[in-house]
Chains A and B, each alone.
Chain A
Amino acid sequence: MRFNEKELVFLSRQPSERAAELGMRGPKKGDVVKRRVVKLIVNFLFYFRTDEDEPIGALLLEQCRVEREDDQVFSIVFLDEAERKYLFECDSQEQCVEWIDAIVKASYEFMRKNLIYYRTEIHRLTGKDPLEQYGISDETRFQVNSGLPPLPPAAT
């Protein structure tokens, strides 16, 4: 599958939401922990060898589950498959917690849900659709999903 690799590599060099050297272990049997520079940018987790500027890979942080495995270890599971579980070893509990938090919030789908929630609530509180001023109120991606019943009238 083709992808815009150069542009992604360029993206990986931009300022990140969070970056650190962590121990990283892949999902396969026999994979061992390796020190990697891990960088969170948009909804991708890039990882680099510690002495290189080019990322080895990029993990899309959608449809995944982030879990605390240990005091300083968290995991990301993709496709609901244990075979696709990546482990990350942090240097402290605090760092571990912060990474989990950051990864959860980085997901596009997570942010979209927030947007829809705020949009609906602002509309309920003010009677105005806040997306109108941007000219994007009709975009499919920002619609409250079908099946959602109208909200009860605003509380006073």
Chain B
Amino acid sequence: MTMANLIYPWVLISVHVKLDRPVIAPGHGCTPGGVVMKIHEKILTHYLSCTSPVDKEGYLYKKRERNTTYLCRWFVLKGNLLFYQERPGDRILLGVIVLEGCLVQACETDGQFCFSLVFTGPVLRTYRLAADDHLSQESWIGALFCASHFYLSMIVRDLERRYEEARRDKGLCDSIQTSAVTSTPNKIMASWNTGQPYFLHGTSIVPRDGRSYSTSSVPPPSMPNRPISYSLHAPPIQFKTTNKRSPKLWPKTNAHVTPLNGPAPSFGKWPVVGFDPLEEFSKMHEYYGNEIKQLRADWLRKKRE
């Protein structure tokens, strides 16, 4: 790999072909020269099709790379990913653009309502897109501008600071530990990373797949005022206390859930809630509990109809 020191990375991509890698395979990049990085297509398509909200979708024209023609494509923006396909509802995805490291610019060179995604990497790749009208162009530019993970993380950092300021101004006790490193995984945060965000459970509220739940005789954690919403997720992180086993075997997850009656988990840099849950859990419970009540009411109403 010493060649990497001598030539530019983008050149390396086209000349450095490892013999034990497939040249082209599904879910791999279509880079001429054959170097492939696996993107795990199914994980992406699952994210696209799951019930978390789509940030924007609609028809746009996309300029072909080696051609001057624009083709009409159905675009779906979710998180920091821009997917495109021929038509809405198509099962085949034509492609995805990961929106990190790019600028979004209106450009009128190709005509009206055009805009570009200009990537700032060594290749300076530019995707040229065009909307049907000015409103759509503005709307897409606005949505793409704030789509990156990097952007989101900056905003969250800022809001976290302002939240703490607002709380201080209100004279509210702030018991957040601000140290960045946690010694134990934050169980509350862990449950947020899984499955569908429960904000959007429009269907029946059932516990998620029971596989992850405790199979031991230890009862599930009972926390005072534990919000109903926790049962909608895979539970907090579990770990076994068995003897060391070879990781080569697939360990049955015979875990017991760490009891939450113990010491309060310490918070890391990104607390889901900015307060000590044991102190103000009833607040959080009420907040999310209201949402659940609303969803249930909607669901029951729909059921009756």
Interface residues of A (CB under 8 A from B): 1-11, 13-14, 23, 25, 32-33, 42-44, 51-71, 73, 78-80, 84, 87, 89, 94, 97-98, 100-101, 103-105, 107-115, 117-119, 121-122, 125-126, 130-131, 134, 136, 139-142, 145, 147-149, 151-152, 154-155
Contact = CB atoms under 8 A, between A and B. Distances in A.
Interface residues of B, number: 115
Contacts of B184: 97
A8 B39 contact: yes
Given A70-B245, A147-B298, A79 B29 contact: no
A125 B159 contact: no
B125 interface: yes
Given A108-B152, A117-B272, A100 B190 contact: yes
A30 B119 CA distance: 39
Nearest to B145: A136
Contacts, number: 305
A5 B31 contact: yes
A63 B185 contact: no
A65 B237 CA distance: 9
Contact of B183 (A84, A97, A110, A131): A97
Given A104-B190, A145-B199, A62 B97 contact: no
Given A59-B43, A60-B44, A65 B294 contact: no
A84 to B, nearest CB: 8
A79 B42 contact: yes
A118 B273 CA distance: 8
Interface in B215-257: 234, 237-240, 244-245, 247-248, 251, 253, 255
Contacts of B197: 109, 113, 145
Interface string B177-205: 00001111110011011111101101000
Contact of B244 (A7, A70, A113, A145): A70
Interface in B109-162: 119, 121-123, 125, 142-143, 146-150, 152-153, 155-156, 158-160, 162
Contacts of B55: 139-141
Interface of B: 1, 4, 9-10, 12-13, 16, 21, 26-27, 29-31, 35-47, 50, 52-53, 55-56, 79-81, 93-98, 100-102, 119, 121-123, 125, 142-143, 146-150, 152-153, 155-156, 158-160, 162-163, 166-167, 169-170, 181-186, 189-190, 192-197, 199-200, 202, 209, 212, 234, 237-240, 244-245, 247-248, 251, 253, 255, 268-274, 283, 286-287, 290-291, 293-295, 298
Contacts of A6: 10, 13, 29, 31, 121-123, 125
A84 B158 CA distance: 36
A13 B182 contact: no
Contacts of A105: 189, 268-270
Contacts of A78: 40, 42-43, 46
Give the 9 A-B residue pairs with the shortest CB-CB distance, closest first. A5-B29, A68-B239, A2-B95, A10-B121, A57-B38, A42-B149, A118-B159, A108-B79, A145-B199
A55 B93 CA distance: 23
Nearest to A78: B43
Contact of B189 (A42, A63, A70, A104): A104
Which of B55, B194, B195 is most buried by chain A, counting CB atoms within 10 A of its CB? B194
A51 B16 CA distance: 14
A61 B101 CA distance: 18
A121 to B, nearest CB: 6
A120 to B, nearest CB: 9
